[in-house]
A and B are shown apart, each in its own frame.
Chain A
């Protein structure tokens, strides 16, 4: 019940501010509304028991990317014109509408294979503790008493996956971050200065 209220209010806030981001004329206000969208998505992550991701979302998106956008707006924006629309309004409106209809038909006509009620507690425990351990009291509350199962649940962490199963992608992303760092340095220095 409380989950449903939280979900629907979050949905309304997020969708309304997302519409605001694309229609508001003042770019500075759209950047602020964008921060609201990011906070809303973090709230969804909390509701979906992905608490680590919610914190990461607040730190990176709300804390860093919104600030970058506000800086970029203040350094460049053309105050008189602001957030103007181009000449393809009708096509730009029709294509997302068609996509939305197709996706919604797909979503509501599919047979999703969801977790059974018996697995729900395990899934919740593992996903909400994607970083950090699970205490004995919490295991007792979920009536998980098998020592072997407890150890397996305890060992299931995002960190283990990042440097285990997904280590190749992890290394690739670190090279990408290095390239982005060097690239933005080269862009910021400009051509003339050495």
Chain B
């Protein structure tokens, strides 16, 4: 397990998520792909925090945990985003009876 292999796995996951987000027409599938991308980025944060020496290592031990703190913020924002996003999806389904992105072409009724 090296930094390079971890970053490669994260890059592969990110690209799978990107492919899903670009190629699916179902809103929920697009959201799932976005979640995969978030997770890949979190993995990158933690891997860098584990392997790379921070500049301030000698004077400030807290810099060892910067990656982990960032991941906490990303998880919080992702949770808020997904709660709101799925709420919008349900409201959309109630009003148009479809969650197919190729059919949703208007923003107002």
Contact = CB atoms under 8 A, between A and B. Distances in A.
B46 A45 contact: yes
A22 B61 contact: no
Contacts of A152: 61
Given A44-B6, A176-B77, A77 B87 contact: no
A84 B24 contact: yes
Contacts, number: 247
A107 B57 contact: no
**Interface size of A as a range:** 35 or more
A154 B20 CA distance: 43
A187 interface: yes
Q: Is the interface of A mostly helix, strand, loop or mixed?
A: helix
A130 B68 contact: yes
A100 B47 contact: no
Given A15-B13, A96-B16, A83 B75 contact: no
A117 B68 CA distance: 21
Contacts of B71: 50, 53
A89 B20 CA distance: 10
Interface in A4-41: 4, 7, 11, 14-15, 18-19, 21-22, 27, 30-31, 34, 37-38, 41
Contact of A180 (B1, B31, B84): B84
A186 B69 CA distance: 31
Contact of A127 (B5, B15, B50): B50
The number of chain B residues touching the other chain, given as a range, is 35 or more
Interface string A44-59: 1101111011001100
Contacts of B84: 180, 183-184, 187
B11 A107 contact: yes
A52 B29 contact: no
Contacts of A14: 9, 13
A30 B29 contact: yes
Contacts of A126: 61, 64-65
Nearest to B50: A48
A150 B7 CA distance: 32
Interface of B: 1, 3-9, 11-20, 22-26, 28-29, 31-33, 35-36, 39, 42-43, 46-47, 49-53, 57, 61-62, 64-69, 71-73, 75-84, 86-91, 93-94, 98-102
11 contacts: A21-B32, A27-B26, A50-B46, A68-B83, A69-B32, A76-B28, A83-B29, A86-B23, A96-B18, A173-B77, A177-B76
The 7 closest A-B pairs by CB, nearest first: A22-B20, A92-B23, A92-B22, A180-B80, A96-B15, A187-B87, A7-B1
